[in-house]
Structure 1
């Protein structure tokens, strides 16, 4: 799904006050999902690379790329300690209910051939997870897991947050506001709220201290706010949070590290923004 089509779906959902959720799966989420569904948790995590190579019929998978040795570190950054079946349950629920699922693709400019092979291994693992969970591929809608960056790079994020700056946009989609009320969720939500407010966005709240261990508390806290759109930068926890919020007739986007990247640059303008593929699978 390209950004033009994604924009159509998001604006339609906002105009009709219908639920829409975009979640994205990276290495951490795919590892969590694969626990005892594809690969056994009684085996040291870094040894999963060999099992993934066998599953993918690619004996060279993982050669020349040291990412497999850092998988446990990636999980920790996502707020998960291996193994974690509770996190897996949340992700499976999110998979079943998400409108759109971003997955790693081989469109990763600048990444090594070894890394691209690893991406292909993760794709194979995901499809095996879906098969085991009896989720048919034709029931899923996929996009690139870099969609959160693409939404910004294409200018779509600005259109979503500031539709009144684009003549005819509100009328085309029957948007009932000049700007959507936005709830931010993530450990840097308060900082990002200041950043977006300074750029004329309507931020109604920021929920910080978010992780897999307090998902239900975060969801309950979100009920205190009136909003049309939630931007969620909360690692693996973002997946279930987005799916839960969309079930209430709201739009929820898993924005990954976008908060961090925009805060680091200090720039809201999308012109010249380069997608940091080196930060992701």
Structure 2
């Protein structure tokens, strides 16, 4: 018994010491990783801010009492004429309401990284780069290279009434939108633009319920059925639910189903295909259509309860 107790005690002490050493080792790695991150962040901030200012100043000039933010603010003020106005959620809602009341077609589509990478194929970015940065595209129904999908999406964007673009100047968002528009000769100033998050803004600002009130609403997308149920429980007159949209190349079949529906407003949550569907619903059927995106998920999960 004494031997067993001694063995157990020794084993426990050894295990405890090993665990402590392991913890110390892991802690050391965490500290090193944090230090590396902070160093990289510091270098990145300099290269993306003060380094640019240093390059613009002559060798005998310094700007010691002005921050990067102040320099940028002054630059933006000087470029005021080049700033492009995006419609607010209230303005988009106003145009949708007008279209609904006058029974006129109106499409509101949105461009995110998936749509922009699809459009960038063999025009802005090389195929291999799109494969690397858009690994999710095949899940969204676009197997790169897919020029047919690109061209069909491009036609929809050009024809759509209101196009949401990313406001953030990140590589595959607003910066890529700029390159894509320029590549295809789409004029930022002649196109009616809004924030690509307008689907959320319409809900947050209380416009969504107003748009649906007293109107027949069609929901389209893989989550159409559960979304229809939640909307109906909230008093929305759901005209129908067209489910299962298997990517861009399934658009024609889906439109065949949509044409058999009687509705006033279509909420389309179908990934990249939503842009083409919303445009087609407006252009071919004379209806109002909103690229609804993941707003559908938020409503179904109860994260965005409908407002009265």
Shorter-chain TM range is 0.7 to 0.9
- CA–CA separation in structure 2 for the residues paired with 1:87 and 1:270: 37
TM-score normalised by length of structure 2 = 0.68
- CA–CA separation in structure 2 for the residues paired with 1:240 and 1:145: 15
| 2:288 corresponds to 1:258 | no
Larger radius of gyration: 2
Aligned to 2:267: 231
Give, in angstroms, the shift of residue 45 of structure 1.
Answer: 2.9
| Superposition map of 1:105-116 within 5 A | 105-106=167-168
Whether the 8 Å contact between 1:18 and 1:251 is mirrored in structure 2 is yes
Aligned to 1:20: 106
| 2:108 corresponds to 1:45 | no
Structure 2: gaps spanning 5 or more residues: 1-86
Deviations 1:106-137, CA, capped at 9 Å, x for gaps: 2xxxxxxxxx543xx53232222222222222
Whether the 8 Å contact between 1:182 and 1:204 is mirrored in structure 2 is yes
- CA–CA separation in structure 2 for the residues paired with 1:157 and 1:149: 9
Aligned length: 220
Aligned to 2:253: 217
Whether the 8 Å contact between 2:234 and 2:306 is mirrored in structure 1 is no
SS of 1:138 mapped into structure 2:
coil
Deviations 1:47-76, CA, capped at 9 Å, x for gaps: 6xxxxxxxxxxxxxxxxxxxx4xx212x13
Aligned to 2:74: none
Aligned to 1:195: 230
Pick one of 163, 168, 186 that aligns with 1:135: 186
Give, in angstroms, the shift of residue 34 of structure 1.
Answer: 0.5
Whether the 8 Å contact between 1:154 and 1:270 is mirrored in structure 2 is no
Give, in angstroms, the shift of residue 193 of structure 1.
Answer: 0.6
Whether the 8 Å contact between 1:245 and 1:251 is mirrored in structure 2 is yes
| Superposition map of 1:51-130 within 5 A | 68=133, 71-73=134-136, 75-106=137-168, 117-118=170-171, 122-130=173-181
SS of 2:143 mapped into structure 1:
coil
Q: 1:33/1:198 Cα in 2 relative to 1: closer, same or farther (>3 Å)? A: same
Structure with the higher fraction of residues in helix conformation = 2
- CA–CA separation in structure 1 for the residues paired with 2:264 and 2:170: 39
TM-score normalised by length of structure 1 = 0.74
Q: 1:86/1:264 Cα in 2 relative to 1: closer, same or farther (>3 Å)? A: same
Question: Which of the pair has the greater relative contact order for Cα pairs under 8 Å at 6+ separation?
Answer: 1
Aligned to 1:55: none
Structure 1 stretch displaced more, 249-258 or 205-214: 205-214
Whether the 8 Å contact between 1:148 and 1:254 is mirrored in structure 2 is yes
SS of 1:265 mapped into structure 2:
coil
